[in-house]
Amino acid sequence: MTLGVNNRNDYVGNGAVDTYSYTFKIFAATDLEVTVRDDDDVETVLGYPADYTVTGAGIASGGTIVLTAGDLDDGFALTIRRVVSLVQSTDIRNQSSLFPEVIENEFDRLVMIDQQQQDEIARAVKVPVTALPSLDTAFPPPGAGKFIRWNVAGTALETVGASPADNVFLQSGAGAVSRSWTSKAGDVLNVRDFGALLDGLTDDTAAFNAAILAAYNAGGGTVTFGPGTAIVADIVLRNKVELVGAGMASTALKLKNSGNTDVLKTLVPLDTYYGTGNVLVGNYGIRLANFTIDGNKANNSSGRGLAAYWYKCSMEHVMVFNCKTYGIKESWGTFGTPVPWDSMENTYTDVSVVRCDGTYQWDHNGPHDSRFFACITAQGIGTANLHTGTYGAGAMFVNCHSWSELGVRQPLWSVIFDGQNSMWSNSSAEGGSVGQIKIRNADVVIRGGSQYSIDSSYHSIGIQIGDAANGFTNISGYDINTMTRNFQVATVAFDSDGGLGRIEINAYNSIASTLYAGTPATTSLILMRATGFGGQLYQIPDAAVFGAGGSPQTMGSGPHFMNVHGTVNGFPAAFSMWINSDLGPQMTFCKSRNTTPGSHTIVQVNDIVMNLVGVGDDGVNYNSVAGAIGIGIDDTPGAADMPGRIVFLTTPKGSNAAVERMRIDNKGNVVLGGAAVATNAIAGFAWIPACAGPPTGVPAASYSGRIPLVIDSSNNKLYFYSGGAWRDAGP
C-alpha cells in the first residue's frame, strides 16, 4: 500500500472533548505515543491502556483514541505520534512461501521508522547550511551551574559559569571595573521575581515582603514593581530599602478585601511609639516613589494607607486615596541624637492624600523640620485634611494645596498646625466647613498664597489663632502675610492670642466689620485691608509701626495703637480721594463706653470722642503738649441724638499742660477764653482787626445772620458793618 507522509496529530483541548483522531497507519495500539502539556508547560506521556484506548490499528486511514479520564482540559495541548519499535520482526527464509503483503508491511515499517526519526531530527538543534564543515558542534562535558556558549573564535561550544572568571560583567566606559553577573542582577529587585502577579486578584503581600527583606539583607537597595495592581496588606518597610513603582497612573497597591489593616507600615510599629518622642528607634533611609495606594474602603471597615515611625526618608510622586481612616499617619521624636544622626528630616514631593475618612487625612507628627513640596490634601471628612503634630515642629510646606468641595466632602478645618515653627509658604487652604487654618502653637509662619472660602456666600473663618476650648492658649509669635477671600464670619479669629504676632492680610470680598473676631494681644501687630465692597478699609486693632523704622513710642498720654514715623523731609501721612462727587477725604473718630469692639454702650456727658494733640520733643521725652483740639459730648445723648462741642486749647509758656482758649457749644455759642482775666492781665485777650481811621471798604463776603467788626485805632471807636454801611458802635 501507499504510506502517507503524516505521522503525528496535534490538538488543543476545550474542556468538552475526550475522543481524538489519528490519521496515519499503525500496526498495533502500542505503536502510538500520546503526550499532554498543561497550563504550566509540563508534559506528561500517557500510558496505554490505563490512560486511553485505541481503535483503528491496521487501518491505513488511522483511527481514534479515547481518554480514560474524560474531556481534555481547556487550553491543554495533546499530541498523538506514531512510535514503532526499532526491530525487524519478520523472518523471510530461502525456498519459503513469498507473500507480497508480508513484504509490503516490512517496507511500510521501514518508512515508518524513517518518518519517526525525521520527526525527532526536525526538532533538534541545527547549524546553518552555510556553516563550515570544520565547525565543531559537539557538546562539552556537562557541569553544575554552567551554561553553553560559542567560544571566542566561534568554532566550538564551551561551558561557562562554573568559575568566578566565567561569571563576569564589565560596564562600558573608562574606569569601569568588573563584577559578577549575579551582583549586577542584584542591583534592583523586582517583586515579580518573588512571585507577585500584580493582576488585581492575587494576594501579592508575601512577594513584596520577601523582595523587601532580600534587599534589606543585602544592605539595602531598590525593589521595583508594576505596572499593574497588587492586592496586599501589611507590607513591611525596612531600613535603606526603596519601593519604586512604574508611575502613579499605572501602578497601585490596593488593600485586600476585609484586610482592615495598613497597606504599608514600618517595621518599627507606629502605634507603639506615636507621640512618645523616642529618637532611639525608628526606621530610616526608606524611599517610596511612583505609585498609588488604594485603601479600598468600600471593602474594609478600617485601614490606613501608610503607618510609619520613621525619619530620614522620602516620598515622591505618590497618591494615597480611598482609605477608611488615615491616608498617612506618621511620627517620630524631636531633637535628641538618632542613629544615624547625619540628618533627620523627611522630604515629600508631589504627594497627594485624597478622600480618606480619618480624623486627619495626613497626620504628620514628625520627624520635625520635614519638607513638603507641591503636596495636596483634599476632600477629607474629619477634623482636618492636614495636621502637623507637636513632634512635627518646623514642617515647611511650599506650593502646597489643601482643599475640599462645597457641600460634598468637607472637613471642619483645612489645615491645623500643632507643630511649632511650621511654615505655610506660597500655599493655599480652602473648603473647611468651620475654617481654613487653625494655629495652635507658637511661631507659625504663613507667607504668600491665598486662603479662601469656597464661594462668597459661605460663612467660615480664614485663620484662627489659638483654640482655648481644646487647651491651646496664648499662641504667640505668629507671622502671617497672605491674601484671603470670601470670609463672612472672620478673616482672623483671635481665640487665644499670646502676643508678639504679626498679621498683614489683603482680605478680598470680606465684610469690613468682620475682618477679625476676638481680642488680639496688645503686643501683636495687625494690619488687614478689606476690598471688594466698593472701597478699602484698614483695621489696626493693636500696636502698629509704619514708615522708616522705629518701634511704638509713648507720646503725650499714650501708648498708641499706631505710629507713623518719618526720617526724611516730607509729610508722614496724606489722605487722598479721587471721586466725581462733592465728597472728600474723611477721618472718623468713634468712642463707645462698651469694652468689646462692635458692641454698644451709650456715651455720657463730657465724654471726649476725638482729640487732636500736638506734642514736641522737650529734650527729655515726647510728653509735652503744645496744643489740642477736642470734640466732646455737650449734653445728654440718645439714639440719633449726639449734642457736641469743640474745644481749642494751647499751652502757656512755662507749662506743658494745654488750657482751653475757645469753645463752640452744641447751641452754637462761641466762647472765647477759658476764664475771666484780671484787670492787670497782660494775656488772655480776644484780638480783633484794627484800622487807622473809620473803615470805608465794602466787605467782599457776606454771611447771613453775622456781621464783621473792626476797631478805628486812630479815634478809638468800634465799627460794625450793617445795612450796606459801616456804623459807629458807640461814643
Give the pLDDT confidence of 82-132 residue by residue, as tens digits. 888 776 666 666 666 667 776 667 667 777 777 777 777 777 777 776 777
pLDDT at 551 over 50: no
pLDDT-derived band at 343 (thresholds 50, 70, 90) equals: low
Q: What is the pLDDT of residue 567?
A: 61
Q: Cell 514642617 sits at which residue?
A: 395
pLDDT-derived band at 538 (thresholds 50, 70, 90) equals: very low
Q: What is the pLDDT of residue 550?
A: 38
Does residue 268 sit in the same domain as residue 409? yes
Coil, strand or helix: which one is 194? helix
**Alpha carbon distance 330, 271 (integer Å):** 9
**Alpha carbon distance 290, 225 (integer Å):** 10
pLDDT-derived band at 533 (thresholds 50, 70, 90) equals: very low
pLDDT at 241 over 70: yes
pLDDT-derived band at 381 (thresholds 50, 70, 90) equals: very high
C-alpha cell at 242: 526603596
In this prediction, residues 661-685 reach a mean pLDDT of 87
Q: Which domain holds residue 93?
A: 8-122
Residue 291's CB: how many other CB atoms inside 10 A? 25
Instruction: Choose the final residue of a domain: 122, 143, 173.
Output: 122
Q: pLDDT > 70: what percent of the chain?
A: 87
Q: pLDDT > 90: what percent of the chain?
A: 58
Does residue 663 sit in the same domain as residue 713? no
E-assigned strand segments in 543-607: 544-547, 562-565
Does residue 113 sit in the same domain as residue 51? yes
In this prediction, residues 479-502 reach a mean pLDDT of 91
C-alpha cell at 52: 486511553
Tell me if 567 is assigned to some domain.
no
Poorest-pLDDT segment among 58-72, 132-146, 463-477: 132-146
Does residue 278 sit in the same domain as residue 385? yes
Tell me if 502 is assigned to some domain.
no
Question: How big, in percent rounded to 5, are the helix, strand and coil portions of the chain?
Answer: 10, 35, 55
Does the pTM exceed 0.95?
A: no
In 3D, which of 482, 487, 493 has the Cα closest to residue 439?
Answer: 493
Does residue 638 sit in the same domain as residue 708? no
Does residue 290 sit in the same domain as residue 413? yes
Average confidence score pLDDT of the chain: 87
Tell me if 356 is assigned to some domain.
yes
C-alpha cell at 636: 445728654
pLDDT at 544 over 80: no
pLDDT at 395 over 60: yes
C-alpha cell at 465: 489663632
Does residue 118 sit in the same domain as residue 231? no
Coil, strand or helix: which one is 558? coil
Does residue 429 sit in the same domain as residue 322? yes
Residues with Cβ within 8 Å of residue 114, at least 6 apart in sequence: none
Q: Cell 496515519 sits at which residue?
A: 24
In 3D, which of 426, 463, 424, 418 has the Cα closest to residue 442?
Answer: 418
Tell me if 514 is assigned to some domain.
no
Q: What is the pLDDT of residue 165?
A: 58
More confident residue, 341 or 192: 192
Does residue 665 sit in the same domain as residue 695? no
**Alpha carbon distance 457, 489 (integer Å):** 10
Q: What is the pLDDT of residue 150?
A: 86
pLDDT at 584 over 60: yes
In degrees rounded to 5, what are phi and psi of residue 604? -125, 170
Report yes or no: 381 and 323 within 8 Å, Cβ to Cβ: no
| Residues forming beta bridges with residue 388, ordered by sequence position | 364, 417
Count Cβ atoms within 10 A of the Cβ of residue 481 and give its class: 0-12 exposed, 13-18 middle, 19 or more buried. middle
Determine which helix (DSSP H) or strand (DSSP E) holds 508, and give its type and residue range. Answer: strand 502-508
In this prediction, residues 630-650 reach a mean pLDDT of 95
Q: Show the CA angle centred on residue 323, arms to residues 209 and 381, nearest 5°.
A: 155
Report yes or no: 108 and 82 within 8 Å, Cβ to Cβ: no
pLDDT-derived band at 720 (thresholds 50, 70, 90) equals: very high
Count of structural domains, the chain: 4
In 3D, which of 232, 280, 240, 272 has the Cα closest to residue 256?
Answer: 232
Tell me if 510 is assigned to some domain.
no
Tell me if 78 is assigned to some domain.
yes
Poorest-pLDDT segment among 65-74, 561-570, 609-618: 561-570
Poorest-pLDDT segment among 80-89, 270-279, 410-419, 633-642: 80-89
Tell me if 397 is assigned to some domain.
yes
Does residue 711 sit in the same domain as residue 666? no
In this prediction, residues 71-87 reach a mean pLDDT of 89
pLDDT at 9 over 70: yes
C-alpha cell at 713: 485805632
pLDDT at 454 over 80: no
pLDDT at 144 over 70: yes
**Alpha carbon distance 592, 554 (integer Å):** 23
Q: What is the pLDDT of residue 509?
A: 78
In degrees rounded to 5, what are phi and psi of residue 209? -65, -35
Poorest-pLDDT segment among 160-169, 237-246, 342-351, 546-555: 546-555
In this prediction, residues 227-240 reach a mean pLDDT of 98
Q: Cell 500500500 sits at which residue?
A: 1
pLDDT-derived band at 537 (thresholds 50, 70, 90) equals: very low
In this prediction, residues 303-316 reach a mean pLDDT of 97
Report yes or no: 293 and 264 within 8 Å, Cβ to Cβ: yes
Instruction: Choose the final residue of a domain: 400, 415, 433.
Output: 433
In this prediction, residues 645-654 reach a mean pLDDT of 94
In 3D, which of 271, 264, 311 has the Cα closest to residue 289?
Answer: 264
Does residue 303 sit in the same domain as residue 399? yes
Tell me if 259 is assigned to some domain.
yes
Q: What is the pLDDT of residue 487?
A: 86
pLDDT at 141 over 60: yes
Does residue 278 sit in the same domain as residue 380? yes
pLDDT-derived band at 398 (thresholds 50, 70, 90) equals: very high
In this prediction, residues 280-292 reach a mean pLDDT of 95
Q: What is the pLDDT of residue 163?
A: 57
pLDDT-derived band at 177 (thresholds 50, 70, 90) equals: confident
Instruction: Choose the final residue of a domain: 388, 410, 433.
Output: 433
